[in-house]
C-alpha cells in the first residue's frame, strides 16, 4: 500500500509539472491578447453571422495552439475582448485538439492513421459547435474573477494599455491568472492520480468485447485520467484490445471533459455552461462513436 501512495504522489507531481508550463503559457498568451488585440477585432459583425463565426472560432485553435491546461485563460480573454461568449466556448473546447501539435502526436501515436486524425478532429469540432449552439442564447457564460475586475490598475473599459504600462501589466496579470487557475489544476491532478493508481486494472477486461460498453469505459477512463491532449493519443493507442471507436471516444472526450478540466471550468464558467458542456459532450461523443462503429460494421 505504501508503494501505491508513493506512486500516487509521484503521479500527482508529474501531472502538475507537465501541465504548469501550458497553464503559464496560456496565462501569458491571454494577457498578450489583452494588451495587443483591439476589441473591435472581436466585435466584427462576422462573429454574429452564424456559420462564419463558428468556423473562425474553430480555426483560432490553429492560431493559438494550446492544450486544455492553457486554453481557459485564453478563451476568457477572447470573451473579455468582445468575442461572443458561446464562440469563446467553441474555441476553448476545440483548440486542445484542433492544433498542429495534437494533430502530429495523434498521427504518430496511431501509426500514421489519417482516419484517426480526421475522426478526432471532426468529432471534437462537431461537439464544440453543438455545445456552442446550445449556449448561443446564453449571456454571462464566464465567471468574473477578482484578478481582472477589482484591480484599479486593470485599465478596464479601455481599448489600449499605455506602452509604458504594458510590461508591468503583462507580469502582474499573467501571474494572477496563473495562480487563479493553478488551484483547480492541483485539485484535478490529485483526483486523476488517485484514480489512475488505486482503480483496479482488471475492470477493463469486462468491457473490451462490447462496442457500446468499451466506448463508455474508455470515455470514463479519459475523464478520470485527464491526460493532456498532446499525449493522450499515446495512452489510447496502448489499449490495443479495445476497438478504434473506443479509442476515438477516449481522445475526443478527454480534452473536453477530463476531471482536471471540469475542476478548472468550475472556476471559470457559470453553472449552466458547465452542465451543458458535460451533458452535451458526453452524449454526443458516445452517440457519434457508436454510430461510426455501426456504419463501419455495415461497410466491412
278 burial (CB, 10 Å; 0-12 / 13-18 / 19+) is middle
CA distances from 177 to 68, 91, 173, 212 (A): 15, 19, 6, 40
Query: What's residue 235's pLDDT?
Result: 76
pTM (2 d.p.): 0.74
What does the pLDDT average to over 241-262? 90
As a whole number of angstroms, the distance between CA 77 and CA 93 comes to: 15
Pick the more confident residue, 274 or 190: 274
The whole-number pLDDT of residue 148 equals 44
| pLDDT of amino acid 158 | 43
pLDDT at site 281:
94
142: three-class secondary structure by DSSP = strand
Rounded Cα distance between 174 and 177, Å, is 5
Lowest mean pLDDT among 44-48, 135-139, 146-150, 174-178: 146-150
pLDDT digits (tens, 9 = 90+) for 103-129: 888 898 898 999 999 999 999 999 999
Q: What is the mean pLDDT of residues 148-171?
A: 59
Q: Which helix (H) or strand (E) holds 24?
A: helix 2-36
Residue 26 has pLDDT above 60, yes or no: yes
Task: Considering only residues 87 and 12, tell me which one the structure prediction assigns the higher pLDDT.
Answer: 87
Give 29-39 pLDDT, tens digit per residue. 767 776 776 65
- Residue 250 is predicted with a pLDDT of 92
Amino acid at each position: 500500500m505504501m508503494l501505491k501512495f508513493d506512486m500516487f504522489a509521484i503521479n500527482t507531481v508529474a501531472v502538475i509539472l507537465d501541465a504548469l508550463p501550458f497553464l503559464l503559457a496560456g496565462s501569458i498568451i491571454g494577457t498578450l491578447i489583452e494588451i495587443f488585440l483591439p476589441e473591435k477585432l472581436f466585435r466584427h459583425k462576422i462573429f454574429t453571422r452564424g456559420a462564419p463565426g463558428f468556423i473562425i472560432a474553430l480555426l483560432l485553435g490553429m492560431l493559438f495552439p494550446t492544450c486544455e491546461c492553457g486554453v481557459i485563460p485564453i478563451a476568457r480573454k477572447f470573451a473579455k475582448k468582445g468575442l461572443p461568449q458561446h464562440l469563446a466556448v467553441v474555441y476553448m473546447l476545440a483548440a486542445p485538439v484542433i492544433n498542429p501539435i495534437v494533430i502530429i502526436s495523434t498521427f504518430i501515436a496511431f501509426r500514421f492513421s489519417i482516419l484517426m486524425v480526421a475522426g478526432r478532429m471532426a468529432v471534437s469540432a462537431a461537439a464544440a459547435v453543438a455545445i456552442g449552439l446550445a449556449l448561443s442564447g446564453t449571456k454571462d457564460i464566464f465567471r468574473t474573477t477578482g484578478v481582472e475586475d477589482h484591480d484599479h490598475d486593470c485599465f478596464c473599459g479601455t481599448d489600449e494599455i499605455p506602452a509604458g504600462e504594458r510590461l508591468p501589466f503583462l507580469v502582474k496579470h499573467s501571474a494572477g491568472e496563473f495562480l487563479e487557475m493553478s488551484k483547480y489544476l492541483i485539485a484535478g491532478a490529485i483526483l486523476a492520480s488517485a484514480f489512475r493508481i488505486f482503480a483496479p486494472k482488471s475492470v477493463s477486461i469486462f468491457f473490451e468485447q462490447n462496442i457500446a460498453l468499451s466506448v463508455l469505459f474508455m470515455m470514463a477512463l479519459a475523464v478520470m485520467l485527464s491526460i493532456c491532449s498532446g499525449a493522450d493519443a499515446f495512452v489510447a493507442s496502448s489499449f490495443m484490445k479495445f476497438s478504434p471507436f473506443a479509442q476515438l471516444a477516449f481522445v475526443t472526450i478527454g480534452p473536453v471533459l477530463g476531471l482536471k478540466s471540469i475542476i478548472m471550468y468550475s472556476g471559470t464558467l457559470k453553472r449552466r455552461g458547465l452542465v451543458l458542456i458535460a451533458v452535451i459532450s458526453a452524449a454526443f461523443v458516445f452517440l457519434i462513436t457508436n454510430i461510426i462503429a455501426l456504419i463501419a460494421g455495415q461497410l466491412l
